[in-house]
Structures are given as C-alpha cells and as structure tokens.
Structure 1
Amino acid sequence: MDLISVIMPNFNGQKYIREAIESVLHQDHSRFELIVVDDGSTDESVRIIKEYMRQDTRVRLFMNHRSKGVSGARNTGIEKASGEWICFLDSDDIMVDGSLSVRLSQVAMYKGINIVSGDLQYCDDKSRITSGGFYISKANITSAMGIDINHPTPVIIENGVEFFLSCAAIIFTGTPVIRHSVVERTGFFCENMAYFEDLSYWFRMILKEKFLFIPDIVFSYRQHQNSVSSDREAVLSGHVNLYRYLANLPEFSRYQRIIRKKMAVQLGTLAYFQRKNKKFNVARQNALKAIILNPYQVPSWKNYFAAMLNRG
C-alpha cells in the first residue's frame, strides 16, 4: 500500500479544522501522513492540531517561521512530504469517505498515469451539501470529455492545457492525487498571486503530463457566506493576472494566441463591471487593453466608448 502525503495549510482554522482532520483520519486507505502547515495562526487551531498529534502519529505539524500565505504553506508541506503520492486539502474542507482509495485504485488500471483527479461537491458553513458533482453536472465538460452522463467512466485527458483553455479547468485544489516525482518536477506554488495560485500550478503540472479524471466526488469544498470570491472585480483581475503569468512563461509559447484571447475576455468583462460601478477611468484602460489583445472583441469596444462618455 503506497504512502500518501496529505498536505493541509492552516491559518486560524479552529472552526472547521477538526472536521477536516477527522475526514482524513477516517479514510479506508490507512497508509498516509497528514502534514498540517500552520502559517502563523493566533486562534486555537494549533492546540487542536497538537491534540490530534497525540492521538495519531500520522498527524504531523510544521510551523512557518514567517507568514507565507496558503501557497507558502503548501510549499512547506511539499518540502516535508515523504509519500509516493501527494494530495492537498484545505483546513475548512472535507475529504469524503473512500477518497484516497478510489483515486489510488485507478493507478493499477491505467498504466503511466501519474495524476488522478476527481469531482467535487459544495457544502455550506454547516457542512450541508449544497450541490454535488460540480464537473459532471456541466454539459459542456462532459461533452468535451465524451462522458455518458448516465454511465460516467474515467477519462484520460492527454492535453490538459488545451482542455483547460478551450473548455474548463477540471482540477481543483482538493481533487488530484499526484505522484511525488511529478510534484518535484513541477516545483512550488507561486507565492505572490492573490487569486488562482493553485490553478497556475495545475497549468504548469499538466503541461507535460496527462491525467485521469474520475467522476467520483472526492471532497467537499466549503463555500462561506463572506467568501472573498464574491468580489467579482477581484476575481476577474485574478483571472487576468493568471493569464498574464502564463503568457510570460516560455513553455506556454505555443498557447499564446488562445491565452491572449482569454485575457481579452476577462479584461473586457472587468471593464464592464468597473463601468457599472462608475470607475470610468480604469474601465476605459482595461477595455483598451482588451482591444489591443483582441481587436475583434465587439463588447470591449462598447465598454471603451461607454467609459469614454462616463456611461455606467
């Protein structure tokens, strides 16, 4: 039975970390190490983690000496991991029963696969499931993968970057189990991105690596009522920064055309929301950037001239 390193970043996670830790401890694949990396918590979460350490030697705690953010905490976990396989779980999310075994069991059936990624479901602040089978419920995704929604089966994604850009990014932080050597080859998470630092990592990881998507739900992603992702402008800016980051990587040069188009769409949408919020100067600037990237994108022209006329 292969050893799996489960990496869990934590910052002031006392409210949910018990549930997160116990969801890992209850897995039927028992050969794992749970690496919790604390990033300077000031609440009771470290005490809770130590409580579990005394009960189960598979739980390990590491402390970042300075605050490095969630990406820095994951990177510390990568440095400390000793398993043949690595996966990630945030301290407010929940690993569903059988999650580790259902993913790892696919490796024997699909030779040469070093990444196995599943589906996710959403839950609220009280751990109530609010929606399930996020990817498998999207017709455009199942159609692109050739999945029969009535009898879904695993699918090998040969060119993940192309799939991510043309259809959807179907790897989420808690969904993949990754062979350690692939993580080492990919390197570390980018620590200076406010949004989509995990997505930038998956893009780099799948650039030269195919992966297996399985339709099984492997974790519950907790949506908070006060989630920062509710800030639409910040999320759109994060998308722009993600595509700018990819565009500046030489290894993504063959995807420049589609990356520029994706960036133009995000800039145009950002300009629209900024215009509606009467931020006309910045809306005009972003609409112009979108036009430069893709002059044939009509909505960007509309946003540009509307912002010029100070029309919301």
Structure 2
Amino acid sequence: MPVFNSGDYLREAVHSVLHQLPIDDRPLPSLELIIVDDHSTDARTVAMLAEIAGMDDRVRVITNQRSKGAAGARNTGIAQASGAWIGFIDSDDIWLSYALALRWHYIESNPGIRWIAGRFKLLRTELTLAQYQADCARLAADMAGTSQYPRLEHLPRPFLDFAKECLIQTTAVLIQRDLINEMGLFNEKLHRAEDYHLWFQCAVANDLWRIDYEISYYRIHAASLTHGETPRYLKEDLMIEMLLQGELAGAHRASLVRRLDMVMQDHCYFYRGRKQYGNAFGMAMKWVGKRPLQVGGWKELLAATLRRG
C-alpha cells in the first residue's frame, strides 16, 4: 500500500485489508500488510501512520527517505515482502471482505495461474458502512450453500487485448512475486500508467485470469490521479513510447501504435472540448512530432489553430 498524504481514507483502506473473511470456512493464506509511506508531509497522515503501525502485528510501515511516486513506493514494498504472492491497494481504495479469499480459491484450484484479478466498482462518493456491508453480503449470499463461485475468465497471453484497453485495475490484482521480479518491477520513470506498463509486459507470455465479480472499490475524488479534470489517458503516450522502444514491440508494434494514436486523439478532444486551445495545439504538435504521417494529428493541429471545439 503506497501512501502519500492520504488523510482520512487511509484508516478505511487498512481496515478493509486486515478484516478479510474466509469463504466456506476455508482458511485464508497468511497475510502481511506492508505500508510504504512515500515521504508524506501531511501531519495528519504521519500521525495516522504511527497509530496504524502499532495496531496489528501483520502491519509493517516503511518510510521512503524521499518521494519516489507510486511505482517506487510499490517497488519498496515488494522488496520487503516475504510472501510468494503480492496484492495491491492504494491508500484511498477498499477491498471487499472476500477479495483475498475469492482470488485465493481460484489460485489453489488452478496451479497454472500466475496473476489474477477481479472486477472493481468506481466509488465517487463517500462509502457508507451500510453500502459496504450490503456489497459483502451480496457476494456471500451468491455463493452460500451452492459452491457456485463467480465465473473465472481465462485470457491467453492477452497483449493485444491490453492494447485495446487496460483490462484490470491494480487494486484488484493478485500476482506472483516471482513474475513481478521477472518483469523488472514497476518502472519508476513513469509517474502514471506504470501499472499498465507492467501488465503489458506480463501479458506477452503469461495468461491472465479474471473473476467476473467486483472485489474492490476504486475511489475517484478531487485529490486522486484519476478524475475528470485531466485527460483520461494522461501520460499514457509516454508509457506506450517506452514499450515501442523496448524488446516487447516486435510483432505487437502495430497494435501499440494504434493505441498511441487513440490516446493522442483523446487528449486533443479533451482540451478542445474545454476550449483549452493552447493545450490542444501543444498536444497536436506533440502528436505530429511522434507520428508525422498520421493525418489525425494534422487535423487536430488545424482545429486547435482555428479554435474549434
């Protein structure tokens, strides 16, 4: 769990991990929660971290001496982890109470799984206790006495699928520690889309398994990186360029280039739609510089120049 000035959401996120429940009385795997404070400066967060550090012997709080971003904080935690499997949760997100048990059930039932994810819910408002309890109870009721676990989807080496869309959200992922290390961890040069970058690398030679059920909440709020005031795919072009320059591109180059064009187009639409024509012009220039033979970039350059929304 990377933490940077998380404030009030932090306690809720920690509580959701430490209060995981078993399914059908099957024992849960042993759990350690490694919280990596990425050099927080908010006094409330620092005080809360000190309180959390002593609340449960399964919790370890580690402090980075300098801010390393989400990728660096996660890498710090992975390096300190003792488990064979790694799960992630941001400090403003929430695991449903069966998130660990459900993924673990499929891992034990399918020895070939190296990474697995579930669906997630977007949380745009404050989560009430009643809402959380209702969602947990719904999952328990769906499986009670029937052994009918949610459908498990198998996606063989889904690189091309990821080129169309990011299929998973980091809070819902459980992955072998060895696989992360094989891929070289999260790229600390990326300040956004660092998780997407890692999933692309995993998808080249590893099948993905997805549970057709929501197991976590992904919170959207004004202070989060993902909200309506920035382009949906902000900085993703840098991530794609990094992939194109690496060994992975090869036969997948065309699909990555299509993704790059889509991202640049979306950026231009975003800024023109808000009449931010200077930003739209700069983004169009960037697109033309990357892809001078792509007609879309030139059209966006003209539209920004003419200040067309």
Q: Which piece of structure 1 moves more, 83-92 or 28-37? A: 28-37
Written as runs of structure 1 = structure 2, the 5 A alignment for 1:165-204 is 165-166=163-164, 168-204=165-201
Structure 2 equivalent of residue 68 of structure 1:
68
What amino acid does structure 1 have at the position aligned with 2:250?
S
Structure 2 equivalent of residue 239 of structure 1:
236
Residue from 150, 161, 164 that aligns with 1:163: 161
Structure 2 residue 9 is the aligned partner of structure 1 residue 16: yes
Structure 1 equivalent of residue 145 of structure 2:
none
- The answer as to whether partners of 1:174 and 1:219 remain within 8 angstroms in 2 is yes
Deviation at 1:287, TM superposition (A): 5.0
Q: Deviations 1:128-174 (Å, cap 9, x if unpaired)? A: 569xx9xxxxxxxxxxxxxxxxx9611111022111113x2112111
Structure 1 equivalent of residue 205 of structure 2:
208
How many positions carry a matched residue from both structures?
283
Structure 2 residue 217 is the aligned partner of structure 1 residue 220: yes
Structure 1 equivalent of residue 143 of structure 2:
none
Deviation at 1:234, TM superposition (A): 4.9
Deviation at 1:231, TM superposition (A): 5.7
TM-score by length of structure 2 reads 0.82
Deviation at 1:184, TM superposition (A): 1.6
Structure 1: distance between partners of 2:222 and 2:264: 26
Deviation at 1:290, TM superposition (A): 6.7
Structure 2 equivalent of residue 3 of structure 1:
none
Structure 2 residue 78 is the aligned partner of structure 1 residue 78: yes
Unmatched tracts of structure 2, length 5 or more: 22-27, 136-148
After superposition, the Cα gap between the structure-2 partners of 1:53 and 1:225, relative to the gap in structure 1 and judged at 3 Å, is closer
Structure 2: distance between partners of 1:185 and 1:91: 26
Deviation at 1:277, TM superposition (A): 1.8
Structure 1: distance between partners of 2:269 and 2:93: 33
- The answer as to whether partners of 2:70 and 2:191 remain within 8 angstroms in 1 is no
Q: CA RMSD in A?
A: 2.6
Structure 1: distance between partners of 2:100 and 2:168: 16
Unmatched tracts of structure 1, length 5 or more: 1-7, 134-150
Deviation at 1:47, TM superposition (A): 3.1
What amino acid does structure 1 have at the position aligned with 2:7?
Q
- The answer as to whether partners of 2:231 and 2:266 remain within 8 angstroms in 1 is no
- The answer as to whether partners of 1:243 and 1:263 remain within 8 angstroms in 2 is yes
Structure 2: distance between partners of 1:256 and 1:293: 16
Deviation at 1:86, TM superposition (A): 0.4
| 1:178 match: secondary structure | strand
Structure 2: distance between partners of 1:266 and 1:34: 35
Structure 1: distance between partners of 2:250 and 2:292: 18
After superposition, the Cα gap between the structure-2 partners of 1:50 and 1:304, relative to the gap in structure 1 and judged at 3 Å, is closer
- The answer as to whether partners of 2:160 and 2:255 remain within 8 angstroms in 1 is no
Structure 1: distance between partners of 2:68 and 2:224: 20
| 2:170 match: secondary structure | coil
TM-score by length of structure 1 reads 0.81
Structure 2 equivalent of residue 50 of structure 1:
50
Written as runs of structure 1 = structure 2, the 5 A alignment for 1:1-312 is 8-28=1-21, 29=28, 31-42=30-41, 43-128=43-128, 153-166=151-164, 168-230=165-227, 234-275=231-272, 276-279=275-278, 281-286=281-286, 288-289=288-289, 292=292, 294-295=294-295, 297=296, 300-309=297-306, 311-312=308-309
Structure 1: distance between partners of 2:105 and 2:150: 17
Percent of matched pairs sharing the same residue:
30
Structure 1: distance between partners of 2:57 and 2:150: 38
Structure 2: distance between partners of 1:308 and 1:55: 58
What amino acid does structure 2 have at the position aligned with 1:182?
L
